[in-house]
A = this chain, B = another copy of it.
Amino acid sequence: MKVVALAGGVGGAKLADGLAQILAPGDLTVVVNTGDDFEHLGLHISPDLDTVCYTLAGLSNDATGWGREGETWRFLDTLRGLGGPTWFRLGDRDLALHHERTRRLAAGERLSAITRDLAQRMGAEATVLPMTDDRVRTIVLTGEGELAFQQYFVERRCEPVVRGFRFDGVEGSRPADGVLEALAAAEAVVLCPSNPWVSLDPILAVPGLRPALTGKIVVGVSPIIGGRALKGPAAKMAGELGIQPSARAVAEHFERLLIGFVVDHQDAEQTPAIEAMGARVLSTHTIMRSPGDRLRLARETLEFAEGLRR
């Protein structure tokens, strides 16, 4: 089965990794949020692309949920001594990826071409693509005014109260090279367990992307389990947006898209409410602690999607 997975960072990357272990390399395309991208020290940094590439290549640091395993910090330690900005943690190896991406962008290559190539060089087998080759920036509307995403997320540690989001530049953006082709060929589209508001919404806001899901078996996996997000600010955001954080709320958010929705077994009692919206529900263990968890959830999700095709 040809599959496109839409993903943000950690949770999305883990399920994408599970899918990559089951599907043939040519059958999986992971389309990744780039609304979190930003410029820092003159470098183009793509946190979600990096997390997905590192995870698919088996290089990710699973303890921290970001960056590379076995990373060293000579650069950052020295920068600190020189009085430079160290709020964004750049490891010595990680820095090479940012530099190489930035160098190739400056030379005129597209982010999608660069990402395909670098992912492969790192050892990822599935195709990894940014949602767009154009500049889109997630802006967090907070009680303190507008904040660039990384400012909100890293510098302010998600403390400011969220009132909404906008994706600067998205109206004029186009899906990256290869994204619409992958969607056209896909039988199933998996909305990975990523933050609905700041990971998946930016992807779905790229003009032409949402219509390309029409007629596909779209299956979402809830990033909210027992009313909480395993990682990241999704539940806090929901509360601040006046939404009771739940699997059901996520299903509601994507209501028009979903053919199927995967919830954790502890949220099984929300099944009737979600099915009433028109999506079929699979309830299972969705917490991915081990590589085996990723594989099992990916397999169940694919079998669920397969069943929905009939």
Question: Interface on A for B, CB 8 Å cutoff?
Answer: 41-43, 72, 74-79, 81-85, 91-93, 95-97, 99-100, 102-103, 106, 117-118, 121-122
A74 in complex: contacting residue of B93, B100, B117, CB < 8 Å: B93
**A96 and B83 within 8 A (CB):** no
**A84 and B72 within 8 A (CB):** no
**B42 and A103 within 8 A (CB):** yes
* Smallest beta-carbon distance A111→chain B, Å: 15
Cα A83 to Cα B103 with chains together (Å): 11
A91 nearest CB neighbor, chain B only: B74
A71 nearest CB neighbor, chain B only: B74
- For this chain, the copies found in one complex come to 2
Q: Which residues of B contact A102 (CB under 8 A)?
A: 41-42
Given A99-B41, A99-B84, CB of A93 within 8 Å of CB of B106 = no
User: Chain A interface mostly helix, strand, loop or mixed?
Assistant: helix
A82 in complex: contacting residue of B79, B81, B83, B100, CB < 8 Å: B100
Q: Which residues of B contact A72 (CB under 8 A)?
A: 72, 74, 92
**B121 and A92 within 8 A (CB):** no
Known: A42-B102, A75-B93, A82-B122. 19 other contacts (CB 8 A): A41-B102, A42-B42, A42-B43, A42-B106, A72-B92, A74-B74, A74-B92, A76-B96, A78-B97, A81-B121, A81-B122, A82-B96, A82-B100, A83-B100, A83-B117, A84-B103, A85-B103, A92-B92, A95-B95
Cα A298 to Cα B49 with chains together (Å): 55
**A75 and B100 within 8 A (CB):** no
Cα A41 to Cα B75 with chains together (Å): 15
Cα A78 to Cα B100 with chains together (Å): 10
Cα A85 to Cα B97 with chains together (Å): 12
**B103 and A75 within 8 A (CB):** no
Q: Which residues of B contact A122 (CB under 8 A)?
A: 81-82
Q: Which residues of B contact A91 (CB under 8 A)?
A: 74
Cα A84 to Cα B92 with chains together (Å): 15
**B78 and A75 within 8 A (CB):** no
Q: Which residues of B contact A82 (CB under 8 A)?
A: 96-97, 100, 118, 121-122
**A75 and B97 within 8 A (CB):** no
List the 9 closest pairs (A to B, CB-CB), nearest first.
A78-B96, A74-B92, A79-B96, A84-B100, A78-B93, A92-B92, A82-B100, A75-B92, A42-B42
Q: List 23 A-B contacts (CB under 8 A).
A: A41-B102, A41-B103, A42-B42, A42-B99, A42-B102, A42-B103, A72-B74, A74-B91, A75-B93, A75-B95, A75-B99, A77-B93, A78-B92, A78-B96, A78-B97, A79-B96, A79-B100, A82-B96, A82-B100, A83-B100, A83-B117, A83-B121, A84-B99
